[in-house]
Chain A
Amino acid sequence: MMADLHPLRAFAKSQPLGAAALAFLVLFLLLAIFAERIAPYDPLEVDFAAMLSAPTREHWFGTDAFGRDIFSRLIYGARTALGIGILASGIGCSLGSIIGVASAYFGGRVDLIVQRLVDMMLAFPIVVLALVVAASLGRMPVLGIDLNLVVAIAIPIVPKVARVVRSAALGVRAMAYIDAARTAGFSDSRIVMRHMIPNVMGPVLVLATAYVAQAILLESALSFLGLGVTEPTPAWGLMLAGNATDFYREAPWVVIFPGLAVTLVVLAFNTLGDALRDYLDPKLET
């Protein structure tokens, strides 16, 4: 590895496309964080004088049926999308990794039971599972993000990550340094957290970026079904769902821009994920 370079620079040098995706995502993150200062309008401000206005100098991306500025709503919506996406993927992948690694480490009966539970969860389509959780948990908004929605999206991610991580962890489990840790009398939790998890982080990081994208899509889908974010909160899924059916013919911009935002962010996360996988795999070093 190029040890003398700063990791970010080394990454940019070997994976230029991945670095571009990362830069793009950082830009979106900044937009989301500083939404109040960047957005030209209040996303909730209704302006009946400018309903369904096409993109103009005043409204770059046009306005929706209530005359709300779509550009501003997209910027605020990035908050919801990235917040829910990153949180849900982070929670799902962390839990999934711990379960997968522990399952591989303890093996035997523990492994058998955990993996059958994982099988059960995997049997549900991801949307259905999220739907059930979201419907039964209700809402719990914290700082503008519905935490129960995050949990609902995170839960279907857990079994998928657990399954992948378990197989990686089985390989790590067979390494002599795990035996060495056991002979040194380290506790099981220490071995799992300090010795096994860091060595399966490569695939987990890749999965995590892929699931951020999936979580954003899932959030859109749940919002569409009325279980996610509710009006008037600006959210990409909701912008697509609420407007798409009614106005896409006469005012295509109400769907084009949110659709574009979702597509680009998902694409960026997937590109970043692939780049990270290649970057972290020492076997792919040329």
Chain B
Amino acid sequence: MNGPLLDVRDLHVEFRTRRGSVKAVEGLSYQVRAGEIVALVGESGCGKSVSSLALMGLLARPAGRITKGEILFDGVDLARLPESEMRKRRGRDIAMIFQEPMTSLNPVLSIGLQLSEPLMQHRGMTSVQARERATELLTLVGMTDPERRLDQYPHQLSGGMRQRVMIAMGLACDPKLLIADEPTTALDVTIQAQILELLTELSRKLNLAVILITHNLGIVARYADRVNVMYAARQAEGGAAERVFTNPSHPYTRGLLAAVPRLDRPRAAQLATIEGAPPNLVNPPAGCRFAPRCTHRTEVCEADPVLFEVEPDHLVRCWHSNVAKTPPEQNALSEPSAAKPALPIVKAEALTKHYAVRSGGVFSRMNGVVRAVDGVSFEILAGETLGLVGESGSGKSTIGRLLAGLEEPTDGHFSIELDGANDPAARRRAVQVIFQDPTTALNPRMLVGDIISEPLRVHKLARGKGDIDARVASLLESVGLRAEMAERYPHELSGGQRQRVGIARALALEPRFIVCDEAVSALDVSIQGQIVNLLDNLQQRLGLTYLFIAHDLAVVRHIADRVAVLYLGRLMELGPRDEVFANPSHPYTRALLDAVPVPDPVVERNRGSRTLKGEIPSPLKPPPGCVFHTRCPIAKEACKQSVPPLRETIPGRFVACLEA
């Protein structure tokens, strides 16, 4: 292979804001060759997206600009190209796909029109030629029935299909480079696997260079040839994926790898975490950016470390990369799970929630029924964590909302057993929720202290300013925040701190049972570990019971004692965590576990592609019989006829499958 297709040299990007200039990217260098997938990994705000927007010449003007460095693409420096020249290359030579397939397609134009547009623009095709090519492209990205799809509109397609259309649009003019910015973050794991397998296949087939921007180390390990780890606007580590993963040399990379709970490793009692949070780039610390959070920090770290080669094709920006390689050893498996007194605190029986879909207006007709939750029965034992997993649309959040009293069940019932708490107010207090998105979970117009003290004041759990302030301070302390935080507004806090405030608010009412609705999904990897550990510690100290709703199976395996798997509003499998993960009975559980990439290229390369076909059907028209039969690899004729009952295969394990 000859020279690289893309050669980024010492790229610097700056944004001017009212608070001063922010150096969003500092000295990023990497190369991409044709047919290669290069990953940019890092947490939010590390500069990974900004650097690729700079490649495309799409920085928000006039605030953002490239201050230094070269972007050599096919020998031409894109950083110095006038906008008119750049426009010709965009779409034709370099294409980009974005995270949110819901908003990146124009809702009022048909798929066919949106696909043909770049062809007619860049290639001068006639509309007939363009339509022909569009059909070809849709076939290429694995869409069935492409002719009919061309006349459909984005809202008629699912998220996964829209992302396929986006890829098809990206490929329309045979680009040499495709930039995929978190292309699967908004998608379910099984769909994520489909899309990434497709990208890999296309890259090989079309000799396409791909820049894959992601925060998911599992995806990097499975799909990337090379990887660049970014931290606080700088490259921390970079090189061939295998080398970086087998011999992670920057403490940050090592910390990240340790902080991700993994399905292929024994479960640790506590997640390893990186303490603290990434620095503010308006006023970054001098010297090594990671030093304030680094356990190997010494005086040398006050000077800027330089990138150097620890081994061929493996660069690291750390003074201590060759010492202290000992990875923080995870204290593998301490307590044998569940030797707890087994008194159910929550009992749900045939819990059902249907939403009527109406046409709108005063004389609306019922257009159909969304079966969000369809006859789900389970128990949650006092002091345990029940993990609830499933893809979007499986009804897992609805179950959480039902138990929290935010929705009324259509049918079936549940009871929450609380000794000594029988009046409605006390029952209300006993069940609290921790929400997914810490940004929307806190009222932006209230001080943190007021947010936490409001429940205390309303329920008269504390009286007088002194008492209330003391309670707020102790609640803040119990979630690992300083008491001064009470004087701040939510927008002045980081995501992780906001989530801690949300937890403190829930704890204020001294609940017995907490619904954690995707409580760590919106957080960065290094912060996610901190919050999971916090929830764990609080459970042990306060004897809490959790319903832990999540789509991340590895996190669920870490925190849950028992796991319930949901699909299209029905319970597929329920059992003790270790047994379900080690030996899944239901084909859907197996498919879910299969779709999760593990952050280890060696393991991943040997796994082969085993993606679950198709997508989750609409809950408006769930398939008859077993709801999973349309995607099930072992479905038989009988599965289409009768709904499999949930039966106990061995004590404590329940499966709803005729074949298992």
Residues of A within 8 A of B (CB): 2, 112, 116, 175-177, 179-186, 190, 194-195, 198-199, 201, 285-286
B330-384 with Cβ < 8 A to chain A: 362
**A185 contacts B440, C-beta separation under 8 Å:** no
Contact with A along B88-121 (1 / 0, CB 8 A): 0000000000000000000000000000000000
A286 touches B18 (CB 8 A): yes
Residues of A within 8 A of B455 (CB): 184-186
Which residues in B have their C-beta under 8 angstroms from that of A184?
Answer: 428-429, 432, 454-455, 458-459, 505, 508-509
Contacting residues, chain A, for B406 (C-beta < 8 A): 179, 182-183
**A183–B441 contact, CB under 8 A?**
no
Tell me whether A177 and B431 are in contact (CB under 8 A).
no
B422-462 Cβ-contact flags toward A at 8 Å (1 or 0): 00010011011101110011111110000000110011000
Point out the residues of chain B lying under 8 angstroms from A194, CB to CB: 454
The reply to whether A179 and B459 form a contact with Cβ atoms under 8 Å apart is no
- What is the interface residue range for chain B against chain A? 20 to 34
Between-chain CB contacts (< 8 Å), 18 pairs = A175-B441, A176-B436, A177-B440, A177-B441, A177-B443, A179-B435, A180-B435, A180-B502, A182-B406, A183-B405, A184-B509, A185-B428, A185-B429, A185-B458, A186-B454, A199-B445, A285-B18, A286-B63
| A186 and B458 within 8 A (CB) | yes
Report the nearest B residue to A14, measured CB to CB. B18
* A184, A186, A194, A201: most-surrounded residue (chain B CB, <10 A): A184
Q: Does B404 contact A (CB under 8 A)?
A: yes
The distance from the CB of A187 to the nearest CB of chain B, in whole angstroms, is 8
Which residues on the A side are within 8 Å of B446 (C-beta)?
A: 198
- Cα A24 to Cα B428 in complex, Å, equals 52
- With A180-B435, A184-B454 in contact, do A199 and B429 touch (Cβ < 8 Å)? no
16 further A-B pairs in the complex, CB-CB below 8 A; given A180-B505, A181-B443, A199-B444: A116-B362, A176-B435, A176-B437, A176-B441, A177-B442, A179-B404, A180-B435, A183-B432, A183-B433, A184-B458, A185-B425, A185-B458, A185-B459, A190-B458, A286-B18, A286-B63
What residues of chain A lie closer than 8 Å to B433, measured between beta carbons? Answer: 179-180, 183
Contacts of A182 in B (CB 8 A): 405-406
Is the Cβ of A198 less than 8 Å from the Cβ of B440? no
Of the candidates B362, B404, B440, B454, the one whose C-beta lies within 8 Å of that of A183 is: B404
- Shortest distance between the CB of B521 and any CB in chain A (Å): 13
Chain A hits for B440, CB < 8 A: 175-177
Q: What residues on A are CB-neighbors of B437 within 8 Å?
A: 176
Q: CB-nearest residue of chain A relative to B429? A: A185
Cβ-closest 10 pairs across A and B: A185-B428, A176-B441, A176-B435, A198-B445, A184-B455, A175-B440, A177-B443, A176-B440, A183-B433, A183-B404
Complex Cα distance, B428 from A186, in Å, reads 10
Q: Would A112 and B362 count as touching, CB distance under 8 A? A: yes
Cβ proximity bits B195-237 to A, threshold 8 Å, 1 near / 0 not: 0000000000000000000000000000000000000000000
Q: Give the residues in chain A near B502, CB-CB below 8 Å.
A: 180
B517 to chain A: closest residue by CB: A176
CB-based nearest A residue for B433? A183
Q: Are A183 and B431 in contact (CB under 8 A)?
A: yes
Contacts of B63 in A (CB 8 A): 286
Q: Which residue of chain A lies nearest to B455 when distances are taken between CB atoms in the complex?
A: A184
Q: In the complex, A94→B505 CA distance in Å?
A: 30
Chain B residues with Cβ below 8 Å from A2 are: 18
CA distance A185 to B435 in the complex (A): 16
